[in-house]
């Protein structure tokens, strides 16, 4: 098909999503049940953290304010991919409309960028708490918290809009089969028959601002944090200081580790299946493990859950 015969995003054409079973009937049911379980636990776990942060006065601190934002984001993040994946696995229908593909890519990119900014804001919060404890209250005021959260959410939305504007001008020719289980940027770009240099350069520049810069900022923050912790004379003090940021450090390592592997891995035929496995991990499993990490490794979250349950059970018993 000639380039002039290509269709852009305004057309009614559909894309075929490969991956996740790739049409193998015997895998559809177990993958559907597994994905449904993951989505249920993800939504319930992250929603529970948001409820605890709002309901428990002891969690009304900057650190848990950002955690509440992160949990809200993870619910939105997984809802961008899993409902569509569940529908595909349940019905066997693997096509997605051009507008639906663009919407999925937009929200996925937006929430991914927002998570990078939020993780950086959480790292800055831990840096101030451990390295600048005397200035913490003045530097991390509630006004600053709201500003950092707002910039994180708006930054992701704006950067994703810019990419979508350039991507919507591309034309797509020939077989529109995306070798992935959702509409991701790189597999989609491979299908274009237009000149993709401009959108590639724009995306690279934005990726530095919404991915590389937050990552380097987070990395630098934790280098300072670790150096400050090592200077604490007592082992008990070091353990207490590290416990305040260990959950966040674990989440950062999992998120950026899998993200870097996926987008730096060569797009060769032999590695594409492995790339999809890592993509599944950071897009689907990371939102699942985050509430587990924060609830299992964080004593204050566990105590807040006990207080809320005790208060609710006490209210039920008194009503009877």
Distance CA 290, CA 145 (A): 21
Asked if residue 8 has pLDDT above 70, the reply is: no
- pLDDT (tens digit per residue) in 157-214: 999 999 999 998 888 876 788 888 888 888 888 888 888 899 999 999 998 888 899 9
200: tokens are 């590639």
* Rounded Cα–Cα distance for residues 206 and 172 (Å): 23
Torsion of CA 9, 11, 13, 17, to 10 degrees: 10
Residues 6 or more apart in contact with residue 277 via CB below 8 angstroms: none
The pLDDT confidence band at residue 2, using thresholds 50, 70 and 90, is: very low
- Residue 186 and residue 45: Cα distance in Å, rounded? 31
> Please, what is the Cα angle at 158 between 73 and 170, to 5 degrees?
110
Cβ atoms of 295 and 301 closer than 8 Å: yes
DSSP state of 18: -
Give the C-alpha separation, 86 to 19, whole Å. 13
- Pairing state between β 177-178 and 95-97: unpaired
The pLDDT value given to residue 28: 79
| pLDDT, tens only, 94-143 | 888 888 999 999 999 999 999 999 999 999 999 999 999 999 999 999 99
Higher per-residue pLDDT: 282 or 147? 147
Question: pLDDT band at 222, cuts 50/70/90?
Answer: very high
| Strand-by-strand arrangement of the 177-178 sheet | 95-97, 14-17, 177-178
Q: d(Cα 49, Cα 304) in Å, to the nearest integer?
A: 10
- In the numeric block, the tokens 């987008």 are attached to 263
Where is pLDDT greater, at 316 or 86? 86
Would you place residue 9 in the very low, low, confident or very high pLDDT band (cuts 50, 70, 90)? low
């Amino acid at each position: 098909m000639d380039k002039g015969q290509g269709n852009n995003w305004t057309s009614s054409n559909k894309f075929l999503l490969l991956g996740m079973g790739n049409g193998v009937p015997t895998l559809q049911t177990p993958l559907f049940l597994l994905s449904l379980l993951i989505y249920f636990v993800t939504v319930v776990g992250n929603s529970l953290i948001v409820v605890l942060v709002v309901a428990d006065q002891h969690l009304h601190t900057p650190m848990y304010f950002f955690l509440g934002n992160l949990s809200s984001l993870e619910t939105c993040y997984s809802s961008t991919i899993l409902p569509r994946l569940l529908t595909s696995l349940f019905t066997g229908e693997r096509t997605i409309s051009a507008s639906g593909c663009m919407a999925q890519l937009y929200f996925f990119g937006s929430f991914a960028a927002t998570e990078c900014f939020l993780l950086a804001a959480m790292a800055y919060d831990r840096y101030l708490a451990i390295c600048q404890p005397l200035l913490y209250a003045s530097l991390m005021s509630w006004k600053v918290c709201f500003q950092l959260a707002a910039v994180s959410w708006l930054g992701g939305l704006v950067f994703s809009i810019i990419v979508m504007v350039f991507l919507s001008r591309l034309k797509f020719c020939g077989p529109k089969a995306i070798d992935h289980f959702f509409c991701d940027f790189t597999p989609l770009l491979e299908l274009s028959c237009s000149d993709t240099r401009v959108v590639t350069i724009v995306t690279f520049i934005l990726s530095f601002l919404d991915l590389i810069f937050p990552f380097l900022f987070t990395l630098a923050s934790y280098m300072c944090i670790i150096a400050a912790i090592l200077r604490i004379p007592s082992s008990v003090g070091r353990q207490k200081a590290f416990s305040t940021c260990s959950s966040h450090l674990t989440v950062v390592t999992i998120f950026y580790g899998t993200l870097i592997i996926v987008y730096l891995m060569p797009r060769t035929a032999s590695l594409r299946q492995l790339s999809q496995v890592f993509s599944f991990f950071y897009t689907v499993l990371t939102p699942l493990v985050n509430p587990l990490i924060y609830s299992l490794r964080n004593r204050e979250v566990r105590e807040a859950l006990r207080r809320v349950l005790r208060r609710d059970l006490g209210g039920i018993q008194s009503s009877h």
